[in-house]
Amino acid sequence: MNVAVVGHVEWIEFVRVDHVPVQGEIIHAAETWGEAAGGGAVAAVQLARLAGSSTLFTAVGDDELGAKVAPELERHGVTVHAAVRPEPQRRGFTFVDAAGERTITVIGERLGPRRSDDLPWEQLAEADGVYFVSGDAAALKAAREAKVLVATARSLATLAEGRVELDALVRSRKDEGELYRPGDLEPPPRVDVATSGAQGGTFTFAGGAPTHFPPAAPQGVLQDTYGAGDSFAAALTYALAEGLPMDEAVALAARSGAAALSRRGAHGV
């Protein structure tokens, strides 16, 4: 299967701590590590797990961290097409506490790809499924050439500007940054998928009533919650590209999101 992601990458330094420090407190890290992470990277690696390989269209900074992105992701089966921007790579700092919750600080501007970047955009027309995380409206329209297009509500402004029909819009019901109301997009997505963590979630076909789907059982010992949402969305993209009905598609997505909870950091390395 030919699957791809259009989106950004953040180089994340993970720090495992007992708790997130309060103002003025000094705490000691039990473990630290760094990864090419962020929505685009997490989704691309998840798609590679399911399909055997994937492609990421992105942009990176022209510094040492930016240069590390492609080799890091290629180890996970991701082919990276990256425009290089004359600015620092966006990075971040993530606390992982004893309960497995992640608390993230990002540093720098999000580097989403643009259709004007010299990337092989024509390949998207051959894709069975594309997950759109970030980029400009023209990049979104290029992604719409794929058989199936899924997008995150985090890029709602770009989705509204692009005015393409999504096969699915994915969002977290608990995240104010992913708020979506009917009428926000024209044309509306064919289905609106809203997750609610341990409560499962709903999928709603345009003009229809919500259908609840249950959560998946946890797989293994909880490591942290980083990347669970993008793993869910990537797996949903894969399932819809496979032609699975929606109830089976969200079930696979829920299992993939649950599996992410037992992986350390972004990719389990």
Backbone angles phi, psi at 175, to 5 degrees: -105, 115
pLDDT in tens, 45-81: 999 999 999 999 999 999 999 999 999 999 999 999 9
What is the rounded CA–CA span in Å between residue 269 and residue 261?
Answer: 13
pLDDT cut 70: percent of the chain above it: 100
Which CATH code fits 3-20+29-260?
3.40.1190.20
- Can you give the pLDDT at residue 64? 97
Q: Is residue 19 predicted with pLDDT exceeding 80?
A: yes
What is the rounded CA–CA span in Å between residue 27 and residue 96?
Answer: 13
Non-local CB neighbours of 225 within 8 Å, separated by 6+ positions? 100, 101, 102, 260, 261
| Structure tokens given for 166 | 């999504």
Decide: 162 and 184 in contact? Cβ < 8 Å.
no
- Structural domain spans, the chain: 3-20+29-260
Beta strand segments in the chain, E: 3-6, 10-16, 31-37, 54-61, 78-85, 91-96, 102-107, 129-132, 148-152, 168-172, 191-195, 201-205, 211-213
Residue 146: pLDDT band by 50, 70, 90 thresholds? very high
Residue 28: pLDDT band by 50, 70, 90 thresholds? very high
Residue 198: pLDDT band by 50, 70, 90 thresholds? confident
What is the rounded CA–CA span in Å between residue 101 and residue 92?
Answer: 16
What average pLDDT score do residues 212-233 get? Answer: 93
- Can you give the pLDDT at residue 175? 78
pLDDT in tens, 102-121: 999 999 999 999 999 999 99
Mean pLDDT of the chain: 96
- Which pTM does this prediction carry? 0.95
Helices (H), 75-196: 137-143, 156-162
pLDDT in tens, 170-197: 999 887 778 898 899 999 999 999 999 8
Residue 87: pLDDT band by 50, 70, 90 thresholds? very high
